[in-house]
Amino acid sequence: MLALATSYLDNRSTDTEQAFAKFYSFTKLVQQDDQKEGWTRFQLDTAKHDPNWMSPQFDGFAFRALAFIEYALASNKLDQFYDVIKTDLDGIVKQWQRNDGFEPWEELQGKHFMTLKVMSEALFKGADLASKRNDNAASTYLSTAKTIASAFPQFWNGKWIRSTLNGKNSGNNEGAGAKTSLQNYIDISVILGLNYNQNTTDAFQVTSPQAQATFWALVDSFKNNAHPVPDPSKRLSGNWGLNKLTCSPDGLLLNPAIGRYPEDIYDGTGYEYPGNPDNHVSAGFWFLATNAMAEFLYKSVVQYQALGSITINQDNLAFWKFVGLSKTGVLSRKDNPSDFQQALNFLVKQGDGFLRRTRQHVPQSGLMAEQFHFYSGQQMSTADLTWSYASVVTAGHARNQALAFAQPASGSCQAQKAKPSCPIPGQIKDSSKRDCGFAGITVEQCVDKGCCWTPILRGKGNVPWCYYP
């Protein structure tokens, strides 16, 4: 709904107005339960989806409040929606100190950067609204937001912002277990939390050296396998082979595809290393993660334009080398206007490189699954994931804002052949597949032949895994 509210800023759609009217009625009902339990999964009749689902999750209060705030302000309907906004803000005040909530992947309990980031953002915005409405709760919202923001430096380990403190793996996911064992907590959820942040007074935001160092840690992980699991041979996707393609067929930059976190193993069905034993698949890249990297860069442009200067130090130097600059120092719009503008143009170019990467793996129909394969690029796992589409909306909106101040820096690369265009999950019948492989063929050998790869569960007969597009 937050992405829908963002889209309303651009299109003023009556469909969005109707959707928020329905969402308001639904929210009034579910707030009776989720305020007490941090429950975020409900059926359309407001019944709980699954009593054994990973609960509590406390980011839901904040995201819902932010969605209603953004839409209410854009539509001038604050009076209509303030009651549900206030209920969620009060819920944040009551629950933010708890350490038993789950992160957005519903795998680890602990204290999570993204959850706290969106909580503080909702409270900062809510405090402003409450003050304008003479709501006495305004001071509580503001003081709590500041207290939450003061905790962000705890997540910085000197190299990157960790996604979780005191993490506990509460399921059978071996990838999540490896994350808690290694204690790196390099995770795209940190970038997601930073992207939702518009308050520029707290320690970490998209232009902070620590945030940019975290951005680089993710790139380094999925491009260079810089932070592998202890035994890389256990993980099928350890080489992230798709990212060897760095240039599109038309000679334009392709930035690395990004997953949730380097130790991830979840492919939609399997939770164990080296991957699902029946189909030899492990975690792929995520559309929402790759698009979030683009959004981060576009939002940096807008924030730098407001700040008027760029600071490059040892914490974020690797990030800026990736972007296109290689020296520490301060670039000022006033004192170094051409260098400052060049830096903004580089940021847009790199953002486009991430969106271009995801576009490579989306058919003309626009359908987007949850993940795309770590070598073949074929879509996999849950089909039609709402968050994948939402990430396109928010990244596109951020790009439009960035283009008011910068244009993509010029430059081409040596064109590389694209991976074969293959059906998304469920779009081709097994009986229609023409065998393109041989006994024992690997995914790398199959894709390099220009063919498609879809492992089949045992017991489904003589269905080729490697087949012609």
Q: Is the pLDDT of residue 307 over 60?
A: yes
Residue of 85, 327, 331, 104 lying closest to 195 (CA atoms): 104
Q: Is the pLDDT of residue 35 over 60?
A: no
Q: Is the pLDDT of residue 322 over 60?
A: yes
Over residues 433-469, the pLDDT tens digits come to 899 988 888 888 888 888 888 876 554 567 888 898 8
SS3 237: coil
Q: Is the pLDDT of residue 263 over 80?
A: yes
First-residue to last-residue Cα distance in the chain: 36
Residue of 378, 356, 369 lying closest to 450 (CA atoms): 378
Give 152 or 169, the one with higher predicted confidence: 152
Q: Token pair of 396, please? A: 């596109």
Q: Work out the percent of the chain whose per-residue pLDDT is above 70.
A: 91
| Sign of the CA dihedral with 331 first, then 333, 336, and 339 last | positive
Residue of 444, 441, 440, 432 lying closest to 468 (CA atoms): 432
Enclosing H/E stretch for 110: strand 108-112
SS3 54: coil
Q: Are 197 and 113 in contact (CB under 8 A)?
A: no
Over residues 183-226, the pLDDT tens digits come to 999 999 999 999 998 777 778 999 999 999 999 999 999 999 88
For the beta carbon of residue 153, count every other beta carbon within 10 angstroms: 12
For the beta carbon of residue 224, count every other beta carbon within 10 angstroms: 11
Residue type, 4: L
How high is the pLDDT of residue 86? 96
Q: Are 220 and 381 in contact (CB under 8 A)?
A: no
What confidence category does residue 426 fall into, taking pLDDT thresholds of 50, 70 and 90?
A: low
Over residues 265-305, the pLDDT tens digits come to 888 877 777 655 555 567 899 999 999 999 999 999 999 99
| Least trusted range by pLDDT, from 23-32, 167-176, 281-290, 400-409 | 167-176
Report how far residue 374's alpha carbon sits from residue 283's, in angstroms, rounded to the nearest whole number: 7
How high is the pLDDT of residue 234? 61
Q: Is the pLDDT of residue 124 over 80?
A: yes
Which residue in the block uniquely carries the two structure tokens 């296109």?
A: 324
Q: Give the DSSP per-residue string, 3-16.
A: HHHHHHHHH--HHH
Q: Are 439 and 432 in contact (CB under 8 A)?
A: no
- Residues 6 or more apart whose CB falls under 8 angstroms from that of 338 comprise none
Which residue in the block uniquely carries the two structure tokens 């160092």?
A: 213
Report how far residue 444's alpha carbon sits from residue 435's, in angstroms, rounded to the nearest whole number: 16
- Residues 6 or more apart whose CB falls under 8 angstroms from that of 266 comprise 173, 175, 260, 283, 381
Residue of 393, 333, 328 lying closest to 366 (CA atoms): 393
Highest mean pLDDT among 24-28, 99-103, 390-394, 463-467: 390-394
How high is the pLDDT of residue 460? 59
Residue of 375, 382, 377 lying closest to 236 (CA atoms): 375
How high is the pLDDT of residue 278? 52
Mean pLDDT of the chain: 89
Q: Is the pLDDT of residue 177 over 80?
A: yes
3-state helix, strand, coil in the chain (%, to 5): 45, 10, 45
Average pLDDT of span 408-415: 88
Q: Token pair of 233, please? A: 């041979």
How high is the pLDDT of residue 301? 98
Over residues 144-164, the pLDDT tens digits come to 999 999 999 999 999 999 999
Give 184 or 383, the one with higher predicted confidence: 184
How many residues are given for the chain? 469
Is cis: bond before 104, omega within 30 of 0?
A: no
How high is the pLDDT of residue 184? 95
Mark 420-429 as b/e (b = at least 16 C-beta within 10 Å): bebbbbeeee
pTM (predicted TM-score): 0.92
Residue of 177, 162, 430, 193 lying closest to 295 (CA atoms): 193
How high is the pLDDT of residue 235? 62
Residue of 157, 259, 161, 140 lying closest to 208 (CA atoms): 161
Which residue in the block uniquely carries the two structure tokens 């935001």?
A: 205
Enclosing H/E stretch for 72: helix 59-75
Average pLDDT of span 341-355: 97
Report how far residue 286's alpha carbon sits from residue 428's, in angstroms, rounded to the nearest whole number: 22
Over residues 61-95, the pLDDT tens digits come to 899 999 999 999 999 999 999 999 999 999 999 98
Report how far residue 238's alpha carbon sits from residue 69's, in angstroms, rounded to the nearest whole number: 42
